[in-house]
A and B are shown apart, each in its own frame.
Chain A
Amino acid sequence: MENETSRAILKLDNVTFKYEAQKEPTLKNINLEVQAGEFIVIAGASGSGKSTLGRLISGLIPEAFPGTLTGELYFDGQRINDESIFKRSQKIGTVLQDVNAQFVGLSVAEDIAFALENDEVGETDMHAAVAAWASRLDLGDKLQLAPQQLSGGQKQRTAMAGVLIDESPVLLLDEPLASLDEASGQEMLGLLERLRTEQGITIILIEHRLADVLQYKIDRVVLLDEGEIVQDAPPVEILQEARLPQYGLAEPLYVQLLRAANIELRELSQLTQPQTVLGPQLQQQIEEYLAQLPNHETTQITEPLLTVTDLSFSYDQNQPLFDHLNFSLRKSEIVTLVGKNGSGKSTLINILTGFIENKNVGGTLTLAETDLRTLSIKERAERMGYVIQDPNLMLTQPTVFDEVASGLRLRNVSDSEIAERVVPLLELAGLYSMRNWPTDSLSYGQKKRLSIITILVLNPDILILDEPTAGQDAENANRLMDFVRDLQQSYGLTILLVTHDLGLMSYIADRTVVLVDGQIMADTDPIRLLQQPDVLTHAHLAPTSLDVFLTSHHMVANQQVYRELHKREVAHES
C-alpha cells in the first residue's frame, strides 16, 4: 500500500550514472526518496559523487554532462528521465555552487527576473514578482545594486530568489556555504528553514561543511561515499553513530569534545544543539576531561620581523581605507587575519607584497631592518611568499617539477641546486611521485599544496596564505594545515593566515588580528577573541560550536582543547 500522507516528490530508483569520459560509474545504485516539504542534506567528501547526484536532480545530467544513465527518476509520480532541462527547472530550482557564475544579470533585480524574461513574462507581472521575492529574501533595498557591490550572502540570496521566482516546489543548493563566511552561512541556513516552514518548499542541500548545518531543522542526512549512499538517517543518528569522520567529513567541534570525554552520545538529549544538549553528569565529565589536558604552552615572544607603522592607503581619495594602521609579525609565529569581506585584508597583503604600487601607500614598512618599499615585487617574494586563494591562477608550467623549479630558474639557479631544493619540498608535499605529471591532472588539494611549495622554494621568512582551507573537505583541509605546520616547524617560518574559519584559528594561531573596515579591532590570542561576542559580531564572525557549547554550559575553552581535538581528528583519519 502506498502511503497517502507522505508522497515522494522526488524518487530515484536504482540509478547508476557514468560520465562519457570515465571508465567507472560515478553514482552506483542510488535509491532515494524525498518527501514534499522535507529538508534534506546530501553530504560526502570530495569525490564522493555528491555533485554528480546534484546534477542528476537538476537536469544538467544528461543534457550538459553526457553519459550513461540507468534506473528511473520520478517527480511527483511521473517519470522524468528524458525530460529537458528547461522543463526540469520549473519543478526543481537549482542554485549552483559558484554564485558569481550564477549571477547572469547586471543588477539584483535583473538577475532575479532572468527566468521570467526567458518565459516572456510581461513587464508589470515581472516587476511585481521580482519585488515580492526580493522582499521575502531581504533584498528589497538592494534591487539596483551590481554583483560587485554585494556581499557573498546577498549574492547567494539573489541566486535563490532567481530560481524561487519560478514558484518551483523544490529548491536544490550545491555547496552554498563554500563562498560564505560563518555568520552569513548561519543566516542563510536560517533563511532556508524559514522558506521551508513558510512557503512549504522542499529543500535539498548538497554540502560537506556538515558541522555548520546539523543544528538546523533537517529531516535527513544522506551520506555518499564512492558513489553510493552509505547512510540515510536523521542528524542525531548520524552523530551518534560517528558516521562523519568515517567518510572524511568534520563533526561539529563540541561533538568531538563529547566523544573525547568518553560521553555516551545516545544518553544525551538534543545532541544536535550545542546550546541545549543535556545529559546525566555531562558537565562533570567535560570538566574532568578539560582538567586532565596538559597545560597551555606559553609561546615565547620573539623579536618583530615585519613592522608596519602608520600605514595609510585609499582606493578613493574621499574614503581612506587605512589611516595610521599599525601591524607587526614576530619571528616564527602563526598569526591569523580575520574580519568580514571588504575590510581590507587582501589590500593589506597586496600592499605588503608590493602587488599594490607604492605611490598611494603612506607609512613605513620594515622587514628585518630593510625598507620594503625599496624592494620590487620579485625581491619581496624572496623574503615574503604569498599564496593566493585559487591555485589555478598560480600554476603556469607544464609539469609539477617545472612549476616548483620555475621561481629558481628565473633567478638563474643551477640545475643541480634546483634539484636539491625542489625534491625535498615535493616529498614533503607528497607530490614527488607525480613530479612529471601535468599540473592539470592534480586534484584541488594537490594543486593547493603545489602552489604553496612553488612559493616556499624561494626560502621566504614569511609565508602568507589566503583562505587556504576554503572549499575543501575536512580531511583535505586538515592535511593541508598539518603540512603548513610542519613547514613552519622545519623552516622556522612566520605564517600569516587569512581565514574565516575560527575552528582553524583556534587550534593553529598564536595570535589573531581582527580587521574591520580598515581598522584593527582586536589583536589578541584566539581564545580571548572568542570571548568577545561584540567584536565577533562586528567582524561577521560566528563563535565555534565548541565555544557555544562551553559557554552555555558555564565552562571556558582554552587553546589546548582545540589542539587536542584537532590531533584526535587527524589520528582518526589516518
Chain B
Amino acid sequence: MNHNIFGFHPGTTPIHQLTGTTKLIIFLSLTIFGSLSFDLRYLLLLSVVAIGALFVAKIKWTDVRVLVWLVIVFAILNLILIYVFAPQYGTHLFGSKTVLLGSGAYALTFEQLYYEIIVFTKYLFALPLALIFLMTTNPSEFSAGLNKIGISYRVAYAVALALRYIPDIQVEYQTISKVQQARGYDMSKNTSLWHRLKGAVGIMMPLMFTSLEQIDSVSRAMDLRRFGKRKRRTWYYAQKFKTLDWWAIALTSLLIGIELVLLLTNGSRFWYPFK
C-alpha cells in the first residue's frame, strides 16, 4: 500500500539530480531571506520561482494533498488570528489609515489587507519550497548535505532516519486505524470531532510502542556496524557538485542579490507604494 504516502519519492527531474547539499543550501537560504522580506514584489517573485519548481520536480498533487490542505487551514487560521489580535497592525506598519469597511478598532483597512496579503505570500513560496525539498531529497543525501555544511554526522543521520521512517509510520498508522474502525471506532466524517480524536488517541498508543521498538532495533543494528565509532565518517553517496548545482546556487544568489538591492532602495524591509 505504498501509494499517496508523503515523503521522499525518487525521480529523474533536474531538481532530483541536484545534490542534497545544494538543495539544503537553497531551501535554507531562500526560506530565511524570504521570511525577512516584506516586499510584495519580491515575495511574489519567490512564489513564482517556487511554484514553477514544483512543476519542474513533477510533484503529484495526490502525494501532497493532505499536507497542503493542512497548511492552508493553518494559514487561514493565522490570517484570522492576526486580524483578531492586531486589527490595525498594517496601519501602524505603513503609517497611514485607509478604512475600507466598518469603523472602530476592527475597521478593515487597506493597510491591514495589504499586510495580510504579504503574510499569505510568505506561505505561498515557503510551502512549495518545503514540499520540493522533502519530496525530492533522498534522506541519506540530505544527511550527507547537513554533514557537509558542518553539522555533526550523528545529528545529521538522526534527522535522516526520522525522515526515512515517516512513510513507514504513516503505513502503520493506516493499518491500526483501519483495524480500529473494524472494531467499531467510527472514524468517518459522520461522527463528532471529539469521537474521532478519542479514536486517534487509541491508535497512537500501539503506534508509539511499535515505533519505540523499531528505534531500539535500528540503533542496535547501527551499533553492530560501528556507527559513532569515529569523529568523522565517509558517505557512499558523497556527491560531487555538478554544473547543474552551480547554476542552481547561482540562481539562488541572484535571488538573494535582488533582495539586497531592494532592501537598499526601499531603505527598509517594507515596500509600500500607496502612501
Given A117-B235, A395-B206, A396-B203, residue A377 in contact with residue B226 (CB < 8 A): no
- CB-CB contacts of A128-169 with B at 8 A, as 1s and 0s? 001000000000000000101000000000000011000000
Q: B226 contacts A89, CB within 8 Å?
A: yes
B148 within 8 A of A: no
Determine how close the nearest CB of chain B comes to the CB of A228; give it in whole angstroms: 26
Q: A392 contacts B206, CB within 8 Å?
A: yes
Report B-chain residues with C-beta under 8 Å of the C-beta of A122.
234
A376 within 8 A of B: yes
Interface centre among B182, B209, B234 (most CB of A within 10 A): B182
Per the bound structure, the CA–CA distance linking A85 and B224 in Å amounts to 7
Q: How many residues in B have their beta carbons less than 8 Å from beta carbons of A?
A: 49
A411 within 8 A of B: yes
Q: A101 contacts B172, CB within 8 Å?
A: no
Report B-chain residues with C-beta under 8 Å of the C-beta of A380.
182
Q: A393 contacts B206, CB within 8 Å?
A: yes
Query: A residues 479-527 with Cβ under 8 Å of B?
Result: none
B217 within 8 A of A: yes
- CB-CB contacts of B194-230 with A at 8 A, as 1s and 0s? 0000000011011001100010011011111111111
Q: B227 contacts A114, CB within 8 Å?
A: yes
Per the bound structure, the CA–CA distance linking A85 and B226 in Å amounts to 8
Per the bound structure, the CA–CA distance linking A160 and B234 in Å amounts to 21
Q: Which residue of A lies closest to B10 (CB)?
A: A146
Report B-chain residues with C-beta under 8 Å of the C-beta of A386.
179, 182
Q: A89 contacts B225, CB within 8 Å?
A: yes
**Which of A103-111, A184-192, A211-219 lies at the interface with chain B?**
A103-111
A16 within 8 A of B: no
Report A-chain residues with C-beta under 8 Å of the C-beta of B217.
96, 98, 101-102
Report B-chain residues with C-beta under 8 Å of the C-beta of A381.
181-184
Interface centre among B188, B202, B222 (most CB of A within 10 A): B222
Query: A residues 57-95 with Cβ under 8 Å of B?
Result: 58-60, 63-64, 85-86, 89-90, 94
B238 within 8 A of A: yes
Q: B139 contacts A118, CB within 8 Å?
A: no
Which of B1, B172, B184, B225 contacts A393, CB < 8 Å? B172
Q: Which residue of B lies closest to A126 (CB)?
A: B236
- CB-CB contacts of B74-117 with A at 8 A, as 1s and 0s? 00000000000000000000000000000000000000000000
Consensus secondary structure, chain A interface: helix
A406 within 8 A of B: yes
- CB-CB contacts of B137-148 with A at 8 A, as 1s and 0s? 011100000000
Per the bound structure, the CA–CA distance linking A409 and B3 in Å amounts to 34
Q: Which residue of B lies closest to A109 (CB)?
A: B236
Given A106-B140, A393-B172, residue A410 in contact with residue B226 (CB < 8 A): no
Report B-chain residues with C-beta under 8 Å of the C-beta of A86.
223, 226, 229
Given A85-B224, A104-B221, A123-B238, residue A376 in contact with residue B179 (CB < 8 A): no
Per the bound structure, the CA–CA distance linking A228 and B209 in Å amounts to 31
Q: A105 contacts B184, CB within 8 Å?
A: no
A52 within 8 A of B: no
Report B-chain residues with C-beta under 8 Å of the C-beta of A356.
1
Determine how close the nearest CB of chain B comes to the CB of A380; give it in whole angstroms: 7
Q: Which residue of B lies closest to A406 (CB)?
A: B183
Determine how close the nearest CB of chain A comes to the CB of B225; give it in whole angstroms: 4
Q: How many residues in A have their beta carbons less than 8 Å from beta carbons of B?
A: 69
Q: A96 contacts B220, CB within 8 Å?
A: yes
Q: A396 contacts B202, CB within 8 Å?
A: yes
Which of A106, A110, A350, A393 contacts B210, CB < 8 Å? A393
Q: B226 contacts A378, CB within 8 Å?
A: no
Per the bound structure, the CA–CA distance linking A148 and B183 in Å amounts to 29
A278 within 8 A of B: no
Q: A388 contacts B221, CB within 8 Å?
A: no
Per the bound structure, the CA–CA distance linking A315 and B149 in Å amounts to 40
B233 within 8 A of A: yes
B275 within 8 A of A: no
- CB-CB contacts of B1-45 with A at 8 A, as 1s and 0s? 111000000100000000000000000000000000000000000
Report A-chain residues with C-beta under 8 Å of the C-beta of B227.
104, 114, 118
Q: B226 contacts A118, CB within 8 Å?
A: yes
B266 within 8 A of A: no
B175 within 8 A of A: yes
Q: B236 contacts A117, CB within 8 Å?
A: yes
Per the bound structure, the CA–CA distance linking A377 and B186 in Å amounts to 9
Per the bound structure, the CA–CA distance linking A105 and B144 in Å amounts to 12
Which of A60, A117, A316, A407 contacts B184, CB < 8 Å? A407
Given A58-B224, A104-B222, A350-B1, residue A396 in contact with residue B188 (CB < 8 A): no
Give 29 A-B contacts (CB < 8 Å), ordered by A residue: A60-B220, A96-B224, A102-B221, A105-B140, A115-B225, A116-B234, A118-B226, A118-B229, A119-B226, A120-B230, A120-B233, A122-B234, A123-B238, A127-B236, A130-B236, A148-B2, A355-B182, A378-B181, A381-B181, A381-B184, A392-B206, A393-B175, A393-B206, A396-B203, A396-B206, A407-B183, A410-B185, A454-B183, A455-B182
| Given A96-B221, A130-B236: 11 more A-B contacts, CB < 8 Å | A104-B161, A120-B232, A122-B234, A123-B236, A148-B2, A376-B188, A380-B182, A381-B181, A393-B176, A394-B176, A455-B183
Across the A-B interface, give the 8 residue pairs with the lowest CB-CB distance, nearest first: A410-B184, A101-B217, A381-B182, A113-B236, A115-B225, A355-B178, A377-B181, A118-B226
